[in-house]
Amino acid sequence: MSENQNLLAEQRRALILDEVRRRGGVRVNELTRKLGVSDMTVRRDLDALARQGVLEKVHGGAVPVVEASTHEPGFEAKSGLELTAKEDIARAAAELVTPGTAIALSGGTTTYALAQHLLDVPDLTVVTNSVRVADVFHAAQRTSGQRQGAATVVLTGGVRTPSDSLVGPVADRAIASLHFDVLFLGVHGISLEAGLSTPNLAEAETNRQLVQSARRVVVVADHTKWGTVGLSSFAALEEVDTLVTDAGLPTDARTEISEHLRRLVVAGESEEGTDS
């Protein structure tokens, strides 16, 4: 389509990945017509997505990768996916943060994006088991100095996962001793049957502890997480107060989610569900 001719590479690749997942496979010539770009551009995009491990190239096109429930992509692999959706979600989630409160941010690329939107929220106490999230706040302090109202950051210890989260008994004990107003939780997968899940057993236990230590739980997850199930479940949907997602979430999924959650926030759209 002509309006897609000037899309950034990351936007094109997000569209390609959505198409592959939705249809179960696409051909190069279909993508060139849909995106209004050259055959060579599409093939470069497919190469890049294949290197990230999110699709598999086949003769004349691409098909989705069927991941094992134990597969855990690294932070860098995940950080290039659904960038626009994650930015929209982060912006919407930041509006739920009240100055002067204690919040927790779990590991993940969406919580990493959220952290960058919280730098100007005054007097926050931020508990996190994410090295990347902590680095966002520490880098801001190094750049601007110790300004008044800057966040106080508590980084748990623990064993580092491929997604740069700190997990295990050390992290669990640290989190269990704390209490925070709101937890912003990134997830590997979310479904009606499995609830919130992750491929990492130790991370599941640490996430379980994060949920238990929070007064409110806000899940930040783009639409591709819906229907994904990791090896270990750590919370039921009913334990989640709010889901912040993007406009790519299908209508039927929105209906199902709204029946189980108190509040559904679709970034850029009016809210569904009710507060309690």
- pLDDT-derived band at 270 (thresholds 50, 70, 90) equals low
Q: Which tokens belong to 266?
A: 């679709």
User: For residue 17, what are the contacts with CB-CB under 8 A and spacing of at least 6?
Assistant: 49, 54, 55, 81, 224
pLDDT range class, residue 32, cuts 50, 70, 90: very high
pLDDT (average), residues 241-261: 91
Instruction: Please spell the DSSP secondary structure of 155-181, one letter per residue.
Output: E---EEPTTSBEESHHHHHHHHT--EE
What's the chain's length in residues? 276
Judged against a pLDDT cut of 90, whether residue 23 lies above it is answered with: no
Phi first, then psi, for residue 124 (nearest 5°) are: -85, 145
- What integer best gives the mean pLDDT of the chain? 86
Contact predicate 103/125, CB 8 Å: yes
State residue 179's pLDDT score. Answer: 96
> Which residues 6+ apart lie within 8 Å of 67 measured at CB?
none
Burial class (CB in 10 A: 0-12, 13-18, 19+), 56: middle
165 or 58: which leads in pLDDT: 165
Is the model's pLDDT at 239 over the cut of 70? yes
**What band does 210 get if pLDDT is binned at 50, 70 and 90?**
very high
- Mean pLDDT, to the nearest integer, of 53-74? 68
For residues 70 and 231, give the distance between their C-alpha atoms in angstroms, rounded to a whole number: 5
Buried b (16+ CB within 10 A) or exposed e, 255-268: eebbebbebbbbbe
Q: Lowest-confidence range among 142-151, 175-184, 185-194?
A: 142-151
Burial class of residue 32 in the structure, from the number of CB atoms within 10 Å of its CB (0-12 exposed, 13-18 middle, 19+ buried): middle
Rg (CA), the chain: 19
Average pLDDT (104-119) is 95
Mean pLDDT, rounded, for 107-121:
94
208 to 47, 190, 196, 221: CA distances (angstroms): 37, 14, 10, 17
Q: Which of 74-83, 96-105, 114-123, 197-206 has the lowest mean pLDDT?
A: 74-83
Confidence of residue 157 (pLDDT cuts 50, 70, 90): very high
Report pLDDT for 75.
45
Distance CA 79, CA 57 (A): 21
CA distance 38 to 253: 34
Predicted confidence (pLDDT) at residue 200 exceeds the cutoff of 50: yes
Angle at 59 between CA 56 and CA 65, to 5 degrees: 15
Tell me the helix, strand and coil percentages in the chain, rounded to 5: 40, 25, 35
pLDDT of residue 69: 45
**What is the spatial distance between Cα 111 and Cα 75, in angstroms, rounded to a whole number?**
12
